[in-house]
Each structure stands twice: as structure tokens, then as C-alpha cells.
Chains A and B, each alone.
Chain A
Amino acid sequence: MDDKYIITVKDLTKKFGSFIAVDKISFEVPAGEIFGFLGANGAGKTTAMRMLCGLSIPSSGTATVAGFDVYKQTEQIKKNIGYMSQKFSLYEDLTVKENIDFYGGVYGLSKEKRKEKTEFLIDLLKIEDAKNKLIKSLPLGWKQKLAFSIAIIHEPKIVFLDEPTGGVDPITRRQFWDMIYEAADRNVTVFVTTHYMDEAEYCSRISMMVDGRIAALDTPGNLKKQFGVETMHEVFVKLARPQSNE
């Protein structure tokens, strides 16, 4: 594998019976990039992402994630990536410290390392006063930030974020993107899906899936130029519903 790329995908395909959910997609993601993975509901994003996370074996094509093969090395992939979604979250009936310790343990960090990480995160997130509180008592915004920090507690090279800001208030949503930028600055590759088109503008590059294929892949600036529009929202509309264009 070329070390420059953290994800390499070639003709990746997934069929369910006669239905082709993902149809020969190909792309590469360099280290440290914020890669936006967009598409309408049902376009195949989730299926593609599940293959890249080692949760679903492809029907054909090839792909490597963090240097590991998506057919043969799914366990290594799971250990070497971070993952966070709006649904997959923290244990509500454990405290902040217990959650950090638990997930650190799941990812195989030593006792010393877990202690060090716990102190580091409590300091980073400025939640000293809340460290012994149950997760369910915390505001949603804090939970989101903690969930993201925990998703990268084992210092993966890449983190997959599946609609991480859904339902979050507009200020917290922007603070969350500050955290994404900080992670990218530390050379963590970020693979993110979102339905907020303003967030699409914050990505280094955008891939747009339509009917199982990648219909466009470029920087937000180039995509807007290519379609002759002002916003990513308009790009999305043009690509997702090509037949409805005047």
C-alpha cells in the first residue's frame, strides 16, 4: 500500500440479492484529510461505510483501510479505526471516568495509559467538575464531545463519524467541528457523513453518492464551480435529483 493514503478503494461493490447497494466505487483518502461522504438516503453510504469499517464483506472489488484489507483483516481494521455515530454513544449509567476507562479497556490500553488518557481528556474537555457524574446527567453537547474524544482514545489513524452532529444545537455543532479540525491537525484522517450542507463546506473534499455510485468527488470549491452554483446545498440538489433540474 501507498503510505500516503489511509483509505484506498477500487471497484468496491456490495450486492444484496439482485440489488446493487454499492456499485464499483473507487477513491483514495490521504492522511489528515477531512473527507465528507454525502448522498441522499438510500444512496449506499451506510453500506459503503460498513465495508470500510470491517463490518460487512464486499461482494467484489478491493479496499484497504489504515493498511488493512477489508476482506481478510477486518479485526485489525476494527482495532485501528475510530467510530462514532449519533446512535452509538456512551453508557448513560456510567460516569464520565468510567466510560473513558471502559472504552480504553475495550481498545486494549494498559491501566497506566487509561489513567493518563482519563486525566488528559478531563483536562482537554474542561469537565473536572463532572468527571464523577453519570453520563445521563450531562448536556447533549458535552456527551457528543466526549463521545468523539473516546472514539479516538486509542489514537487511530482514521475516525469514521456517521452524522455526528444530528440534533445538536447550532453552537455545539460548530464547537464539534473545531474538534474535527484539531484532530485533522494532528494528522488524524476524518471520514464524515452529514445532512448539514454548511458542514459539507468544512470538508477538504466531498464525495457524493447517487444510486450506489460516486457521482462526484472534489473540493467543495471545485464542485460549486463545476455545477455553476453558490452553495453545496445546490450541488447536492443537482446531483441527487438530476431529473428535476430545469
Chain B
Amino acid sequence: MEYAVSVKNISKSFDETKAVDDISFDVKHGELFGFIGPDGAGKTTLFRMLTTLLLPGSGSAVVDGFDIVKDYKKIRSSVGYMPGRFSLYQDLSVEENLKFFARVFGTTIEKNYDLIKDIYIMLEPFNKRRAGQLSGGMKQKLALSCALIHRPDVLFLDEPTTGVDPVSRNEFWEMLGKLKNEGITILVSTPYMDEASKCDRIALMQKGKILDIGFLRDIIGKYGKKIYAVRSDNMHKLILDIRSDENTESVYSFGDFLHYTDKHGGIDIERMKNILMSEGHTNLTIQEINPGIEDCFMSLMNK
């Protein structure tokens, strides 16, 4: 079996909405693969099909060597799934939840303790606390521990970092890095574009489709346009002035800069500076930059 996950032309519709629209991709063994896109991109529907919780409308997929329709029972024992919404037993304690999941999968906490140790150790002081009473970060760690307790070959994490602050998000990705080193194949979805750099490969998703798929550097390499970072003392006026210029293809805020592309494949920076200064801008800087993943995503959205 060449791939850990192999998906061919899979689709799923709800009424008239095509939640997942003819998607194909392969994930290698031991790969950390990211699905990046906003709400409504189809990430959850895709994961629910691959974890056998939802039948595909059409197409097929093989996970860990098993067909998602015919061999659904086998998949259920060999994959781990952490859904986007906290779905452990709120009225059971931390320890009871973990024991419950271990027993359902016919194993024990002791048997796989080494795998979850780094994560679970942060929870152990709260062992007797009900899961419903934990903080957001602790719930997340418990959910991950429960998804790992049967030592799955393939782990599906649906938006594990949504609503999580940037520092805690970083810590979560460090945990995923360790799990990857254990040889677990990980499929993770996220709306945060900056998390693309933490994955081996990524698929950019929008409205049920894959906009692009591959290594981050290759996707960025395909951007194919010159892009400039522009800044002045009055950013609000700056974006309005640039937006109203006929040569502008796109202009978006990026933190304390604007990212700008023109229609003609590049600009004369000095000339643009003079024009903007004549419109009253002060402390103006314009420089060519390398595009980031968010620039690429927005460019692909507009295609």
C-alpha cells in the first residue's frame, strides 16, 4: 500500500450545496498534511467521509489500506479522529474519559502511555475534574489524548486550533510534530493560513474544491506576480487611493503594510512614490516582497 490515504473524485452534496466537489489527493505514510481554508470549504465533510461517519455521494477513498465504504469497521479501529467541536463526555472526569476510550478500542491507558505521555502529563493534575469544567486548552489536550489512545495509524484533526490564541496554537503544532516523529500519518484542517508552514504538504480549499495542493514553497513559487509592500502615515487613505488607481489589480491590508499588485506585471517604484506623495502621503515606503501563503490563497480565490 503506497499511500496512507488515497482519495479519488470524492463528492458530497447537501440539498443543492456541493460541500465537497470532486476532490482527489494522496497522503504518504508519516506525512503531516494540512487542509487550509475558511468555514464552508468542505474540510469537515471531507474528514467525516474519510473517518466513515458520512457516506460519500460519489467517488472513492482508501484509508490505511481500507475502503471507506466496504471496510468502514476496520477503518474505525485504525484511525483516530478529533472533531472540531468538543465531543467528549462532559460529566465524566478526565481520567474516566480516557479510560472509556481506551476500553472501547480494546486497549488500556498503560499500554499506550508513552504515546500520550507528553500531552497527558499536563492534564494529570486535573485527573478527577469533569471534562466539562476544563479550560479550552485542557479540553483540546484531553480530546487529542482520547483520539490517540488506541495508537492509530492515521490521525484526523478537524480544526484543532480554531479559536485558540497564537501562542497556544504554536504549542499544539509542537505536539503534532512529536506525533509525526512516532510515525503517525496526520491530516489536519485549519482556517489559519500561517499554519501552512508547519505542514509537510498542504491543500488550499475553498467552496468544496482544492484550489492548489503541494509543498508550500511550490505553491508560493507559482504565484507568478510581482507584489509590493506599501506603507504611509495614513493607511486608511492609502488603501482608498491605491484602490481607486486604474493600474491596481489588488490591494489588501497585511498588518501594518498593504500588499499591492498591478495589472502590468511590475511597477516603477519611484514613480508610484511620487504619485502617492502628490496625493499627500508622508513617510511612504514601497518595496518588492516575496508573497506569503495568504497572498497566494487570495489570488487563487479571485481566479
Contact = CB atoms under 8 A, between A and B. Distances in A.
A173 B37 CA distance: 13
Interface string B29-61: 000000001111000000000000000000000
Contact of A166 (B170, B191, B253, B298): B191
B71 interface: no
B197 interface: no
A41 B40 contact: no
Interface string A203-246: 00000000000000000110000000001110011001100000
Q: How large is the interface on A (under 10, 10 to 19, 20 to 34, 35 or more residues)?
A: 20 to 34
A98 interface: no
A172 B37 CA distance: 12
Contact of B39 (A140, A163, A197, A240): A140
B137 interface: yes
Interface in B127-159: 135-137
A201 interface: yes
B6 interface: no
A124 interface: no
Given A202-B253, A232-B255, A195 B294 contact: no
A177 B38 contact: no
A17 interface: no
A36 interface: no
Contact of B297 (A40, A166, A170, A237): A170
B255 A231 contact: yes
A167 B255 contact: no
Nearest to A236: B166
A234 to B, nearest CB: 10
Nearest to A224: B256
B301 A169 contact: yes
Contact of A171 (B135, B167, B301): B301
Contact of A40 (B162, B165, B206, B254): B165
B271 interface: no
Contacts of B115: none
Interface string B251-294: 01111100000000000000000000000000000000000001
19 contacts: A39-B165, A41-B135, A41-B163, A41-B165, A41-B168, A42-B135, A166-B163, A167-B38, A169-B37, A170-B297, A170-B298, A195-B166, A197-B255, A201-B255, A202-B253, A221-B256, A236-B166, A236-B167, A237-B170
Interface of A: 39-42, 139-140, 163, 166-172, 174, 177, 181, 195, 197-198, 201-202, 220-221, 231-233, 236-237, 240-241
